[in-house]
Amino acid sequence: MATLEEVKATYDFLDDIVRVDMGDYGEVTCALYDGDFTKTLEQAQYDKHDYILRGIKFVEGARVLDVGCGWGPFLKTVRDRGGRSVGLTLSPKQVEACARNGLNVRLMDWKSIDVETFGSFDGIVSVGAFEHFCPVDEYLAGEQERVYDRFFDLCRRLLPPGGRLYLQTMLWGKNAPAYPDISLHARKGSNEYILAVLEKAYPGSWLPAGEEQVVRCAAPYFRVVSRNNGRKDYIETMNQWDRVWTWGPTKVLPALKLLPYFLTDHDFRYKIESLRNGYNKQCFIREVMDHQRMVFEATGN
């Protein structure tokens, strides 16, 4: 998984910038349009939360674990619906923001917890974090599926039989180039160049090969309940973000807070380049990346 330092470098600099426009809970994962692109971004995010709650069979009083909880938007929904929750993140800034909002969030890697850490849960959710679980070096060492197996094994042990896991993740798409071809020396604007910049912007991450790889790794512990492709939804979500994320007087102070990153992070310019040019969105438009929502149900004893 991306290390604490890599996650800090990736997400902490966004803390002030993102929440100026996206609200105190910083909802920065794919919304649920499901073909209806007349929805507002707010409605599509609300519908996503409803979809997740139905997927994990949430009821009032249920205890939910959110792995990679970000600034806590789904944890807030669980609280508002009468549930109890624990969130995990590797971003200190996100922990601080969640604590200010009264959310139970820990600065912890899922690899460091077990049943004894927090006890069992009625449901588990991971939205936009799974793609960060396997770093490039472990992928190159042939360890990717071992990492995923370990995650699903943990989730199974944290859930009762029939308990549900909701997983929302980016995947490699049909036009993804081979890893050796990804290079900053590739033609600017090419898939190979864009991915090289994104690797600098989001270090320590390698995406799943596709949904079948994820399902195969989950199979010893879970059965698939449902799948919902979100590639087009992610494109529309990012279109909406483009409209929301504006530069103006409210951004002056947050922008000044980025100066230390320019001075200390040699790859920071790539983060800015990827945001400015919408490289993530380009990857979904070009089908270099795909996106999937999956609901799993725990099997066995």
pLDDT band at 183 (very low <50, low <70, confident <90, very high): very high
In a domain, 188, yes or no: no
Secondary structure of residue 66 in the 3-state scheme:
strand
- With 0-12 / 13-18 / 19 or more C-beta atoms within 10 angstroms meaning exposed / middle / buried, residue 102 is exposed
| pLDDT, average across residues 245-274 | 65
- List all residues 6 or more positions away from 185 whose beta carbon is below 8 Å from its beta carbon: none
| pLDDT, average across residues 197-204 | 86
In a domain, 275, yes or no: no
In a domain, 10, yes or no: yes
Secondary structure of residue 125 in the 3-state scheme:
strand
| pLDDT, average across residues 206-214 | 96
Alpha carbons within 13 angstroms on the beta-carbon side of residue 300 total 11
Give the number of domains in the chain.
1
The token pair that represents 195 in the structure block: 């991915």
In a domain, 51, yes or no: yes
pLDDT at 267: 75
pLDDT over 70 at 257, yes or no: no
Q: 90-129 pLDDT, tens per residue?
A: 988 899 999 999 999 999 999 999 999 999 999 999 999 9
Q: 68-82 pLDDT, tens per residue?
A: 999 999 999 999 999
In a domain, 281, yes or no: no
pLDDT over 70 at 47, yes or no: yes
In a domain, 181, yes or no: no
What range does the domain containing 51 cover? 4-175+202-249+286-298
In a domain, 224, yes or no: yes
Q: Is the dihedral of CA 134, 163, 237, 72 positive or negative?
A: negative
pLDDT at 269: 80
In a domain, 263, yes or no: no
| Spatial distance between the Cα atoms of 147 and 297, rounded to a whole number of angstroms | 20
Q: 130-161 pLDDT, tens per residue?
A: 999 999 999 999 999 999 999 999 999 999 99
Secondary structure of residue 105 in the 3-state scheme:
strand
Query: Domain of 81: which CATH number?
Result: 3.40.50.150
| pLDDT, average across residues 51-55 | 98
